[in-house]
Amino acid sequence: MSPTPAQSRRLRCPACGAEYEVAISRAACQCGSPLDLVSELQPLPPSLAGRPFGLARYAEAIALAPWALERAYLGAGMTPLLPMGQGAFVKCDFISPTGSFKDRGAAAVTAVALELGAVEVVVDSSGNAAAALAAHAVHAGLKATVVVPEGAPEAKLAQAQAYGAEIVSAPGPRERAAEVAKELSGRRGCYYAGHAFSPFFLEGTKSWAFEVFEQLGAVPGAVVMPVGNGSLLLGVFAGFAHLAATGAASRLPRLVAVQSEGCAPLAGRPALLTGHSLYTDGIAISKPVRMRAILDAIAATGGEVVVVSDAEVKDARLSLASSGLWVEPTAAAAWAGLPHLSDGQGPVVVNLGGAGFKRP
């Protein structure tokens, strides 16, 4: 019998090598670094026919208890993969339950909070993660507290509030919201579910890779996605790496990270002194906490970083809309990046991770 998640998983610091047990109180390493999840996982079976959708579909490859995954399930996953011509596909994560790919990670962090016996979760977010965490928490019977930076989009905050989340505003830059959220979770003794810090969020986004592999029947040539804190890119990398390590796949896809010219730290361009690009606020992260891991994953797959302008994003958004796909600007950035690929050998899968109603 395979070991249960509680028996086989632990947290490890990539900076100093310290290891910890998974616990409500452990949000980061004592050195301040975000932690990685190390676990003894099994290969996925050759056929998944008959299994329900959601993260529990890939239970062998996700270090969470199936009962917790089922209780946290709100419908995230198995989003359509649509052909767009010339070897390009779009993964329509914008039709997820709360309108973004963050539902994948929210389901996972809600599941681990349930396993650990938490009654409240705290997250820092400028919008999509706030809505996703609030919805999954209330569905699972947990309280959600969301710490937001000043200037967060009202439409996204209204969505999180509608689910019943408590909203706490943190003055200062986006990074300050994460500090306040961790301080708050420590005082209240609740689970910190920050999508940039929590390794369990990446357990949820791993499902994207497993789904694309199922839907295509192969590993794509490249995957293209907008990147801020990298919670999707790192999960996708981990998912395809799991498939390769267990013999299901023979290679990894090239990872292509798209950033805005207003804030492109992965390309060595810090945020403009006048502020972040407001049009693609979802990826305006000047100092990603897992930046080294993001760059390492891109390099390991022979990928690249692409920088696009706001004008290109606006044109891409209208182009997608003309095909019946209405996405938020941050999601459209990925489509805007497609023509910039140095190697377009396909199939190429572009993630559309946020719905248009987020930024109408």
* pLDDT tens for each residue of 235-270: 999 999 999 999 999 999 999 999 999 889 999 987
Q: Do domains 81-100+201-358 and 102-192 have the same CATH topology?
A: yes
Q: Is 56:50 a contact under the CB 8 Å cutoff?
A: no
Residue 109 has pLDDT above 90, yes or no: yes
* pLDDT tens profile 155-197: 668 899 999 999 998 887 777 888 899 888 888 889 999 989 9
Mean pLDDT of 22-46: 93
Q: How far apart are the C-alpha atoms of 141 and 153, rounded to whole Å?
A: 26
**At how many degrees (to 10) do helices 231-245 and 102-115 cross?**
80
Domain ranges of the chain: 81-100+201-358, 102-192
Q: For residue 53, give Cα distances in angstroms to 27, 133, 209.
A: 29, 19, 14
Domain spanning 102-192, CATH class: alpha beta
What is the reported pLDDT for 156? 67
What is the reported pLDDT for 41? 80
321 alpha-carbon distance from chain centroid: 24
Mean pLDDT of 89-93: 98
pLDDT > 90: what percent of the chain?
Answer: 76
Residue 153 has pLDDT above 80, yes or no: no
Instruction: Tell me the CB-side half-sphere exposure of residue 19, using CA atoms within 13 A.
Output: 5
Q: What architecture (CATH level 2) is domain 81-100+201-358? A: 3-Layer(aba) Sandwich (3.40)
What is the reported pLDDT for 274? 54
Q: How far apart are the C-alpha atoms of 130 and 52, rounded to whole Å?
A: 26
What pTM, to 2 d.p., does this model score?
A: 0.94
Q: Is 128:354 a contact under the CB 8 Å cutoff?
A: yes
Q: How far apart are the C-alpha atoms of 296 and 122, rounded to whole Å?
A: 29
Give bridge partners of residue 144 from the DSSP assignment: 121
